[in-house]
Structures are given as C-alpha cells and as structure tokens.
Structure 1
C-alpha cells in the first residue's frame, strides 16, 4: 500500500511541521485579537465595584461590599467568620442591598455561604454586563467561540496526521516522529482552546493597573484608596485592620466553595487562602486566620 498524497515520510513530516507552525501563529493571533480593545475610549472612570470585578470577579465585588457595610456600621463581624446586621441599615447600591438582604435572613450569616450566594445575584451580574459594554471584559461564550475557530486549522491538521499515521501502521512504515507530531498538535489544540486565562481586554488590564498604581490614565481608571479600595483590589486579606481581617477570614470560605468560579459573570477564576498564621482577637483568644489570600488573580494577572 502506498503512502497517501504521494509524499515520502520525511517530506510529509517537514510539511507537517511547517503547517503546524502556521496553525500555531493563527491560534495565538486569534487570542491576541480577542483581548484587543474594542470601540472608543470609555466616557467615564470605573467605580470601586467595577474595579473589584476586574480584580477578582463577582466574589471580590461581594467582599468589597462587606468591607463597605462594616465600615458604615451596617454589618458587624465575629471572630467565627460570620456577619450580622446592625439595626435596620439602608443600602447605597444594589450590591450592598443584596448583601444586606442575604445577611438579614439569618441571625449570623457565615461568609462561606454569603459570598457565593450574593455573587450570583443580578446586581453583580449587571456589573459584568457594564464592563462588557465598556470593552473591558470578555464574555465566556464569545471567548470560547473565537478560540475554537483559532484552533480549527490545528484540528484539521491533526486529522490529516491521524490518517497518515493509520496508513503508516498498515504498511509497516516507521511512525515515531509522526506520533510525536500528533501528540504536540493535540496538546497545543487543548491549551489554546482554553479560555480560563483570558479575563479582560487590554483596556481592562490598563484600567486595573491604573487603579493599582494610583494613577489616572485618561478615563481608563480611577485611583482608589481607603479600606474598601484596598479590599476591592486585594481581597479580604488586604483589609488594614488586623483583628477584623482575621475575623473575616476565620472561615476559609474561598477554599470551601472555590468550585463556583464565575458562573454568573464574564470571567472564570478561583481563589485560595493559606492559613498558618495566627493572631489574637480583641478579646484575647487566638484564632487561626489566613494572613495571605490569593483573591482570584484578576484581569491584571490574566494574560493571553
């Protein structure tokens, strides 16, 4: 049985490597194009909740809201990682209202239940929608669709290689190098079709970086400060009050329920807390808290 397409083994291998290189450049180009800024410059800066979403997704928005409500003395925290209402507070925005409504259903609401629950609320999803309209956030369905198109040439090349590989086995020809090419092609196709690392457009990255550096770049970002700004950009582990930070992080809610990700928004992310340091609460008892917490990576660390 002759080899198909009238090519010798070395000739086919050479052409395959060239074709794989072209397919790789195409797939990478699609990823860069996907993250490119679209539309004109936004007409306004971003508020703290929007920056929180860029930095850590829907969960970070809820964390910033909790910090804001505690600062406004609408919520109180305990060293067991729970929060409760103080009187009958009034919310200043939709996210705060959702947090207060959730916390108000219980005498003491644990953060490992409150945060993922509120993260799925419409008020948080609306933030993702606004960021998408500003050209700063990429919708998951859009990312998947473009990335699948990007790896399509690679998939076609893989199928052609499999046909050649099967024919080579049938005629007893050596297929070691071709097997390696197929494995490399399959790995590249899988890696380049994944959208997990694509979080924001380049504009979203610039806005987040401007906020973190404290600079204002046109209307791309808003320099944030204060407790709420620190939590919005760095998570609960960035709260400046050590006792309160330890209390808020007494339960590793981000580890216990990290599987939820961004199911209600535009970005898929996770977070992990590390315990191991301990601090004393104001009452004198020690509680184990996570002095450091990776709050989801955010757009700034996404890359393409």
Structure 2
C-alpha cells in the first residue's frame, strides 16, 4: 500500500517532531534578535529633559512612576497613609496629570490598588507615549511583529499536522501518535497567540538607558558649592 504523500507514518512523525522543534527555535531566535535590536535603538538625537515620572518609568515601569507620584504627594501633604497602609486625600488636588490620577483614586486605597489604577490611566498612557515619541522605549511594534511571525509559523505546523491526521484517518491508518503531536502543536499555537496579545512591560531603549544613566550621574554628582551656602 502506498504511503500518503510518499512518506510513511513513522517518518512523518519524526519529521513533524523536527518541525515543532525548529519552529520553537526560530521563534526564540527571531524574538531575541528583534528584542536586542529594539533595545539597542538610539537615534542619537537630543531629547527634552524628561520629567521625574518619565525617569521613574524608565527605571522601573509604570509601577515605579506611580510609587514616585505617591511619595511626592505624601511628602507635600496632599496624601496621607494611615496605620493600615491605606492612602487617602489630605490636601489640595495637584496639577500634574499622573499625580491627579493617583490623588483622585486615593480614597482609603492601598498602594496595590493605586498602582493597578495608575497603570491603566490616561496620564500613564500619555507619559508612555511621550517616551515613545522620543525613542526612549524599545519598540513594542517590533516585538509584536516578531511574535506574529512566530504565531504564523506555529499555525502552519498545526495545519500541516491536521491535514495529515485527517488524511490518515480517511485511509484507516494508525494515527495515535500524530493525534498527540497535533494536540501539542495546538497548545503551542495557543501559547503563541496569547504571547502575541501581551507585549509585556516596556523596556528602555539604548537612548532611554543613556538618558537614565545621565540622570543618575547628575543625582549622584558633587553638590554645588552654592547649595552649601547660607
């Protein structure tokens, strides 16, 4: 009896396992290369002096920016923290957008709640967009494109397995191992789809790290003599 597609069942299983492994390897390599290029991106053009909250975002993402806003508001007496570590309003509403978002939500709220709200706020999106416009964050589009390529490859392998499986069933061939491998391919495709929909936290680009390094150097530098006078 002729083998379907000119390849025996056992040989196809070996080939399919190799394809599954190859796609995983390609996904890892493409993701690594794209991510590395995005992190190294630096146009070298001068950028405006970032705000303290933009620097906090570069240093630790949205949560660090929210923490910085909470600390500033508490320091100025516009928020207070009770013995249960709940944050509430205590003074006038601030004018800075991120501080406003944190202040408005601070009604006996925990810092965890404020962080979650701050991450989704319009002020945080505007802050992130500002960093993006100046090339201080690694490209999210590049990461998404790399994951799209990985998803398409994973779907192609899944489709190949399904076609071979249906062909084997129609010919009455044993397909137990192939059923398992197709299920594995389906799970990998689902994982790839989920990863594509979630780009994860934004990382500073080379330009962002350069700006952050300059800010840290300035903060740790010697105190000007004029500041000691008085």
**TM-score using structure 2 length:** 0.70
**C-alpha separation in 2, matches of 1:61 and 1:89:** 18
Q: 1:135 to 1:118 in 2, by over 3 A?
A: closer
The residue that corresponds to 1:40 in the other structure is 43
The residue that corresponds to 1:69 in the other structure is 73
Give the CA RMSD over aligned residues: 3.6
Q: Is the Cα contact below 8 Å between 2:70 and 2:102 reproduced in 1?
A: yes
| Pairing 1:110–2:112 present | no
Q: Is the Cα contact below 8 Å between 2:138 and 2:204 reproduced in 1?
A: no
Q: Is the Cα contact below 8 Å between 1:3 and 1:164 reproduced in 2?
A: no
**C-alpha separation in 1, matches of 2:162 and 2:186:** 11
**TM-score using structure 1 length:** 0.55
Q: Is the Cα contact below 8 Å between 2:151 and 2:192 reproduced in 1?
A: yes
The residue that corresponds to 2:31 in the other structure is 31
Name whichever structure is richer in helix by fraction.
2
Report the secondary structure of 1:223's partner residue. Answer: helix
Structure 1 residue 61: Cα displacement: 2.3
Q: Is the Cα contact below 8 Å between 2:55 and 2:212 reproduced in 1?
A: no
Q: Is the Cα contact below 8 Å between 1:42 and 1:220 reproduced in 2?
A: no
Q: Is the Cα contact below 8 Å between 2:88 and 2:108 reproduced in 1?
A: yes
Structure 1 residue 114: Cα displacement: 4.8
For residues 171-196 of structure 1, the C-alpha deviation after alignment (integer angstroms, 9 at most, x for no partner) is 33232332333233223333334144
Q: Is the Cα contact below 8 Å between 1:137 and 1:199 reproduced in 2?
A: no
**C-alpha separation in 1, matches of 2:201 and 2:142:** 12
The residue that corresponds to 2:22 in the other structure is 22
Report the secondary structure of 1:123's partner residue. Answer: helix
Report the secondary structure of 1:219's partner residue. Answer: helix
The residue that corresponds to 1:223 in the other structure is 216
**C-alpha separation in 2, matches of 1:199 and 1:115:** 14
Q: Which runs of 5+ in 2 are unaligned?
A: 220-230
The residue that corresponds to 2:82 in the other structure is 78
Report the secondary structure of 2:88's partner residue. Answer: strand
Q: Which runs of 5+ in 1 are unaligned?
A: 208-217, 227-304
**C-alpha separation in 2, matches of 1:69 and 1:6:** 72
Q: Based on CA coordinates, which of the two structures has the bigger radius of gyration? A: 2
Report the secondary structure of 2:211's partner residue. Answer: coil
